[in-house]
Structure 1
Amino acid sequence: MTFSAPSGPPAVRPVTLITGATGGIGRALAHYLSPRHDLVLSGRASPGLDALCAELGAAALPLDLTRPETFEAAVTALGPVTNLVHNAGVVELGAVAAQAHEVWTRTLLINTAAPAELTRVLLPRVRDAQGMVVFVNSGAGLRANAGWGSYAASKHALRALADALRDEEAPHGVRVSSVYPGRIATEMQRKVHEQEGADYQPEVFIQAETVAATIAFALDAPRDASITDLSVRPGPRA
């Protein structure tokens, strides 16, 4: 017995915008989604961003996350956007007694204020598509440890942003999810270990591809489900 595909118009591919696209999670997510999504990849203007877009047939959206006031003009030429994945971020470890306000200001600007502004300017497009906003948070967004004050504060604020947005946008059919990964084998993690004075062993951490698959799971969930919060921790070791 053979089965034929149902007739009708072909499914419309979602358009997914990923910030921090050239980093570990962003790059892995772009590769994971590219067979099924049209991609807009955002990051600092660089040959690396151009090369990744050329490889995946994606559109480039260079943004300076320290200048949210430029976002509205930067997205003017964009077409439809179904999903927005906030993946970009920075971390600078240090005790509260040791970190100057410049570190706090930059961290909160890039990790919290920039996602809030990019969400604001893209919301009309996401509403039109009844799409989704995903915030790649951190375990630090659930609990703050010594030396992680500025970063954890920015991620706790990011969680508040996501929670408020979820309630506000539910009437428009927009879903909002926060993903809280543990330590991931990325260049950012290498930097963190340097700041901690510890050896970096990427094999003991979550792989970026695993987090990418988790984000894709939330994006691809059927419309009758809303995955609000996902924590991802390293699996047991033999």
Structure 2
Amino acid sequence: MTNSSNATAQASPDTEAPQRVAVVTGATGGMGREIIADLARDHHVYALGRSAADLPESPSITPVAIDLVAGLDEGMALPELDRVDVLVHAAARATKYSVEEATPENWRAHMDLNVHAPAEVTRALLPQLRKAEGTVVFINSGAGRHSYGDNVVYAATKHAFYALADGLRISEPGIRVSSVAPGPTDTPMLQGLQDYDPSQVIAPAEVARAIRTVVDAGPTTQLTELQVRPRIELNLRK
């Protein structure tokens, strides 16, 4: 299992078109794994995550062990790719803090992973995305449109994430940009924030299906924002 820094997209033996390439951050998370499994059906996926031992690997998945936050200062050790058809930003952190509780270190830690790192990964891969006229998917959250007294730091980063996505769309008209915002989803992140019944929240595979809808949109359109909500909102359940 290696950081495939010299890997390049290879042409499919059955067609003249090169194989489509996807890059997904947060590869070891609950959503990341499902997103990668779905995209690997017709892309070669570069799965980026910190823990090499936990990264998925298969003939259509190349694991890339990388610390995105460290890369902000040390340089992003990203794979050298000829093109990128899909870039999915799924890496994130969420710890509950109120304004009173949050320290500058808490703010920086969340902003670095949730906003600064995806901005830098996108910047580094812009030439490849432009070449492929690719799609960039930002995994946002319901917290990106609302704020919470006990979870203000995470909410603030997701508000900034919307601004990042919108700014990219405006400045790069040749690239499709989408914000996919799941509500409460059965992942380790949600487990760290609240108690819940898994049957009452979104299954990670459903988020992957939503991203597939974005990726497979026709060539004359882009799905700029997609909200993914549970069938019944948790606050409406009795």
TM class, shorter-chain normalised? 0.7 to 0.9
Task: Supply the RMSD in Å over aligned alpha carbons.
Answer: 1.8
Q: Which residue number corresponds to residue 148 of structure 2?
A: 145
Report the 3-state secondary structure (helix = DSSP H, G, I; strand = E; otherwise coil) of the residue aligned with 2:177. Answer: strand
1:117 aligns with 2:120: yes
Residue of structure 2 equivalent to 1:211: 207
CA deviation profile, 1:203-238 (whole Å, cap 9, x unmatched): 110000000100111011111111000111101399
Correspondent of 1:127 among 102, 126, 130: 130
Q: Count residues in correspondence.
A: 220
Shift in alpha-carbon separation, 1:220–1:187, aligned structure 2, 3 A: same
Aligned partners of 2:34 and 2:205 also within 8 Å? yes
Alignment equivalent of 2:110, drawn from 102, 107, 110: 107
Tell me, in whole angstroms, the C-alpha distance in 2 between the residues paired with 1:178 and 1:18.
14
Give the TM-score, by structure 1 length.
Answer: 0.87
- Equivalent residue letter for 1:202: P
- Which residue number in structure 1 is paired with residue 46 of structure 2? 40
- The residue matched to 1:66 in structure 2 has which SS? helix
Shift of 1:95: 1.0
**TM-score normalised by the chain length of structure 2:** 0.87
Matches within 5 A, 1:20-169: 20-49=26-55, 52-54=56-58, 57-67=60-70, 68-72=72-76, 74-75=77-78, 77-169=80-172
Shift of 1:109: 0.6
Consecutive unaligned residues in structure 2, runs of 5 or more: 1-13
Match of 2:184 in 1: 183
More helix by share: 1
Distance 1:27 1:204 in 2: 21
Secondary structure of 2:23's counterpart equals: strand
- Unmatched tracts of structure 1, length 5 or more: 1-7, 194-198
Deviation at 1:53, TM superposition (A): 1.4
Cα deviation for residue 104 of structure 1 reads 0.7
Q: Whose radius of gyration is greater, 1 or 2?
A: 1
Q: CA deviation at 1:9?
A: 4.0
Q: Counterpart of 1:4?
A: none
Q: Percent identity?
A: 39
Distance (Å, rounded) in 1 between the aligned partners of 2:94 and 2:202: 18
Distance 2:167 2:80 in 1: 28
Contact 1:184 1:207 (8 Å CA) reproduced:
yes
One-letter code of the match for 1:53? Answer: E
